[in-house]
Amino acid sequence: MVKLWERSSIAKIALKRGVQLTTSERMAEDIKKLTGGVMLSRNNDFVVFYRGKDFLSTELAEALLERESSMKSLQDEEQARLNAKLSFTSSTEAFIESTVAGTLGETLEANSKYGNELDGNHVDKMTRTVEAAKHADLVRELEWKLALAEKRIAKAERVLGKVETALNPTEDTKPPETITDEERFMFRKLGLRMKAFLLLGRRGVFDGTIENMHLHWKYRELVKILVKAKSFADVKRTALSLEVESGGILVSVDKVSKGYAIVVFRGKDYKRPSMLRPRNLLSKRKALARSIELQRMEALSRHIGKLNRRVNQLRSELVQVEDAKGQGDEELYAKLDSAYSSEDEDVEDEDDEAYLRSFDNPIVRATVDENETAIADSESSYSNDDDSAEDNGDCDEDEVNGVEYSDYDDDEDCEPAVISAGDFQRNLYSGCSDGDRLPRRRG
């Protein structure tokens, strides 16, 4: 009834008939005594009670009681303070004589007897001590950030290994199909002129990429794939992976205005597979997770290198501070003042296990090593050229793995150079030397 009275001012009670030793009059009197309400009407079936004008809800009653108790405690505290004040009596006659305690005269007298004047050397010494302490604190802070970054990169490696459990690259065991020089020339020229293309993004090669290649090959023999990669080594690895996973023939890899163009021929004996999406590659979601973890690892590696250089520099400067004690090296201390960073990095520690469980999949298979044996020799011969391509944003290779690489300002007006089919296949799977490069030709 109290809960009902909180929503309505009137409560209506239904009486059950046939209950022995009970009457509506007796029940109404008992309810009136227990609740304190006002009975408005009564019959054999219903009893109606009014809550009254002085009714208070439970929340309001608790608030009033709490307020009353707090006011009572304040009143008791004030009364105790007044009683304590009345218990003390002040007497001004005992303090007629003046004293020098706490006055300026006492301070000057104490300084003349016991004080030591601070000269310039003492101030310089204290400044050096403070600067050295700040420098040591900065070194400890950077070491803590370095340890945290190493912990994060270890976590990224664990997550990457968990994601790559479903990655099982195809082993290139069948002999590669060959095409003639004229066919390679025409396929490359037609592929670069094609308007339809596939854009390979940050996910790299996954099952959806191979499916789109087979869908392109349903209506045409060639497929052009545009890749926006930072280094030429990534483009080369992507091109060979596309060739192996799709079963096609890699025609060319060219530097174009939009990045790198990879042209793949479907083959003369092409048969569309029954399953367009291979089961051995990552899904779209896991490919994105793998890309994020690789990007995180790269950024953390650069961050750790920067912190290591900063810590080593600060430690060497700290040694110089210890050696320069008493010599007054003002230039060194000015350098230390400028070494402190004003930016604070917020650090949040996430739950590793919860993050790792987000990639669990019951159909994930065991991880196997990636098939890099076909391009192991070509990787070593082009390591120097890949570094220069990554630094300058361009690549100077004219022929890598039997595929010609050249720069084109216009994709439609290009005259590619031609190499023999035998040289292409031999260089593609066995690598080539620095002296086997062809001159670049511009369209």
* pLDDT higher than 80, residue 93: no
What SS3 state is found at 40?
A: strand
| 272 closest CA partner among 296, 299, 247 | 247
- Round the average pLDDT of the chain to a whole number and report it: 73
Domain ranges of the chain: 1-80, 181-281+381-436
- pLDDT tens-place string over residues 161-178: 888 877 777 776 666 678
More confident residue, 437 or 202: 202
CATH classification (class only), 181-281+381-436: alpha beta
- pLDDT tens-place string over residues 356-400: 444 444 433 333 334 333 333 433 333 334 443 333 333 333 333
User: Which region among 294-298, 420-424, 430-434 has the lowest average model confidence (pLDDT)?
Assistant: 430-434
Cα–Cα distance for residue pair 147/162, rounded to 1 Å: 23
pLDDT value of residue 260: 93
Q: Which residue has the tokens 């004008």?
A: 53
pLDDT value of residue 263: 94
Tabulate helix, strand, coil % of the chain (nearest 5). 55, 10, 35
Which amino acid, one-letter code, is at 285?
R
> How far, rounded to the nearest angstrom, does the alpha carbon of residue 169 sit from its chain's CA centroid?
28
| 238 closest CA partner among 266, 271, 270, 202 | 202
**Mean pLDDT of the 255-262 span:** 91
User: Which region among 41-55, 61-75, 111-125, 340-354 has the lowest average model confidence (pLDDT)?
Assistant: 340-354
Spell out the alpha helix ranges (H) of 164-272: 181-193, 207-217, 232-246
More confident residue, 37 or 336: 37
Q: For the whole model, what pTM was predicted?
A: 0.45
**Mean pLDDT of the 84-99 span:** 65
pLDDT-above-90 percentage for the chain? 13
Contacts of 214-219 with C-beta under 8 Å, sequence gap 24+, read: 214/246, 214/272, 214/273, 214/276, 215/276, 217/248, 217/266, 217/270, 217/272, 218/272
